[in-house]
């Protein structure tokens, strides 16, 4: 995103996270102008711990850093003093850990009534799965994303090329919730505790499939959706030279242009009836995948 000024200038964020969606959220907030202070643990030994350069740039760019022992009275007091001057705290501990450390929402609110605490976790702070551990792949599986994705040569679900759950399911939802909470605070003067579940975020990414199921009972699956390969005008095709073409021609005029450019004019008007559409899509798939002599 490009802006003419830092949109979050003047906002201070304390980041307690080390990996996952919360790290991505704080990085985006820093990119948008927030003053992000990365709060890390004090090393247990005298060795110098150096974060790998690529990860340090990706996760910590544009941030300041402080080391605190939150299990000690001094470290806890120092963190609460920082909270008194901050706007947002982001954490990704297991549910209940911040309360045991004495830095849960009630303790933070006592230090700063306007503080926004954003807790990110796999399955939320409450409920039967709250204490389940997981990684990006697990949340994509639970949320149905992998079931509707492409397939490998042996027919199994394909691994995505990016951490979709951590980034889109968790990080972006955390950023949106934080910005909404800061907007509300401008009216009420009060902060809030945000509970961001990565698995819930993944399910929201599947809204088109869920909506279709609720509307007509069509169960989602691989290549079943308008944008996941059901129709020939939105799909991937291997060319004669071994490369791949990404065809996204949903609009009739774009699809007609595509067919004409490929000398496939007879296919440039998709039929209206659903059964005919599927037969048409099958013929087009075969035609586009057949190398020209």
215-242 core/surface letters (b: 16 or more CB in 10 A; e: else): eeeeebebeebeebbbbbbbbeeeeeee
Mean pLDDT on 152-164: 85
| Distance, CA of 5 to CA of 36 (rounded, Å) | 17
110 — pLDDT class (breaks 50, 70, 90): very high
Between 235 and 56, name the one with better pLDDT: 235
Q: Which residue bears the tokens 């902060």? A: 191
Q: What is the pLDDT of residue 170?
A: 94
pLDDT, one tens digit per residue, over 241-280 is 778 888 888 888 888 888 788 777 766 665 545 555 566 6
CA dihedral (103, 104, 109, 110) in degrees, to 10, reads -60
Q: Can 166 be counted among the known catalytic residues? A: yes
Does the active-site annotation cover 135?
yes
CA distances from 66 to 1, 75, 124 (A): 28, 11, 27
List the single range of 18-32, 48-62, 136-150 with lowest mean pLDDT: 48-62
Q: What is the pLDDT at residue 267? A: 64
Q: For residues 184 and 178, is the Cβ–Cβ distance under 8 A?
A: no
pTM: 0.85
Which one is catalytic: 31, 69, 135, 224?
135
pLDDT of residue 16: 96
Among 35, 87, 166, 235, the active-site one is 166
292 class by beta-carbon count within 10 Å (0-12 exposed, 13-18 middle, 19+ buried): exposed
For residue 137, pLDDT beyond 60: yes
Q: What does the pLDDT average to over 86-111?
A: 97
Residue 113's pLDDT is 98
Domains of the chain: 12-205 (3.40.50.10540), 234-289 (no CATH)
Residue with more model confidence, 276 or 89: 89
Q: Where are the alpha helices (DSSP H) in 206-273?
A: 207-216, 252-261
Q: What is the pLDDT of residue 84?
A: 98
Q: How many CA atoms lie within 13 A of 177 on its CB side?
A: 28
Report whether pLDDT(105) > 90: yes
Question: Which residue, among 179, 284, 171, 275, has the nearest Cα to 229 in the 3D structure?
Answer: 284
Mean pLDDT, the chain, rounded, equals 86
Contact 185, 191 (CB under 8 A): yes
Q: How confident is the model at residue 198 (pLDDT cuts 50, 70, 90)?
A: very high
Q: What local confidence, expressed as pLDDT, does residue 2 receive?
A: 73
pLDDT of 281 strictly over 70 = no
Local confidence band at 157 (pLDDT 50, 70, 90 cut-offs): confident
Q: Is the pLDDT of residue 78 over 80?
A: yes
Distances (CA, A) of 251 to 72, 270, 277, 282: 62, 11, 15, 19
Q: How far apart are CA 231 and CA 285, in angstroms?
A: 9
Q: How far apart are CA 144 and CA 157, in angstroms?
A: 11
pLDDT exceeds 70 at position 229:
yes
Report the distance separating Cα 27 and Cα 30, nearest Å. 5
**Cα angle at 32 between 27 and 34, to 5 degrees?**
75
pLDDT of 48 strictly over 60: no
Residue 215 has pLDDT above 80, yes or no: yes
Residue 130: pLDDT above 90? Answer: yes
């Amino acid at each position: 995103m490009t802006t003419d000024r830092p949109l979050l200038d003047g906002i201070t964020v304390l980041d307690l996270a080390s990996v996952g969606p919360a790290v991505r959220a704080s990085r985006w907030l820093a990119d948008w102008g927030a003053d992000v202070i990365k709060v890390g643990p004090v090393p247990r030994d005298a060795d110098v711990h150096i974060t790998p350069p690529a990860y340090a740039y990706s996760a910590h760019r544009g941030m300041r850093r402080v080391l605190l022992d939150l299990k000690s009275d001094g470290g806890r007091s120092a963190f609460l003093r920082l909270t008194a001057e901050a706007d947002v705290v982001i954490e990704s501990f297991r549910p209940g850990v911040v309360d045991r450390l004495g830095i849960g929402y009630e303790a933070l609110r006592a230090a700063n009534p306007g503080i926004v605490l954003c807790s990110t976790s796999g399955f939320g702070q409450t409920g039967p799965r709250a204490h389940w551990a997981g990684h990006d792949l697990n949340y994509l599986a639970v949320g149905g994303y992998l079931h509707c994705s492409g397939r490998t040569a042996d027919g199994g679900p394909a691994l995505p090329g990016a951490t979709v759950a951590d980034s889109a399911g968790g990080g972006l939802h955390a950023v949106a919730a934080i910005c909404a909470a800061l907007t509300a605070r401008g009216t009420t003067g009060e902060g809030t505790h945000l509970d961001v579940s990565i698995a819930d975020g993944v399910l929201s990414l599947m809204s088109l499939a869920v909506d279709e199921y609720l509307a007509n009972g069509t169960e989602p699956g691989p290549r079943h959706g308008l944008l996941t390969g059901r129709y020939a005008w939105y799909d991937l095709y291997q060319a004669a030279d071994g490369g791949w073409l990404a065809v996204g021609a949903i609009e009739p005029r774009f699809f007609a242009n595509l067919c004409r450019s490929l000398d496939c004019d007879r296919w440039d008007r998709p039929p209206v009836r659903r059964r005919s559409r599927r037969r048409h899509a099958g013929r087009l798939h075969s035609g586009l995948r057949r190398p020209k002599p």
